[in-house]
Amino acid sequence: MVPRYLDRTPSGRRCDEGSAAVEAAILFPAVLVLVMAVIQAGVYYHARDAARWAANGGAVAGAVHGGAAAEAEARDRIERAGGSSLLEDAAVSASDTGTDVTVTVRGTAKTFVPGLPPLTVTQTVTTPVERFTAP
């Protein structure tokens, strides 16, 4: 136990030398984790939007040009959005039922936070096939 007279400065105020360093050492890791979490959330939502954009473009292309064009357009859009640097292991599946075209884009968003499990992104878009009908 420190005597009370040693715990004070010459002016009589309490001595709190070094408390700022201790506070910074305690708060800095928490602030760093918070900043990394915000950035990781932004990367995840950007990957999700890119997958949605690719699925939508593929579905529209499939509705106009047929089911084979749907998958090709979706893959092209994934590459234009950033490819594997944004969405790892991207997989595109397209189905054409004759009346509807459905395109699904799946992948894993890039993670840079150690210990974070893979963030899976799945986006599906269905659109009707364009066709001529009798008036």
Please state the rounded mean pLDDT for residues 96-121.
91
Phi-psi region of 23 (alpha: psi -120 to 50; beta: other; left: phi over 0): alpha
- 3-class SS of residue 42: helix
Residue 71 confidence class, pLDDT cut points 50, 70, 90? very high
Predicted pLDDT at 19 = 76
Q: In whole numbers, what is the pLDDT of the chain averaged over residues?
A: 87
Residue 135 reports pLDDT greater than 80 = no
pTM above 0.85, yes or no: no
How far apart CA 83 and CA 1 sit, in angstroms, is: 63
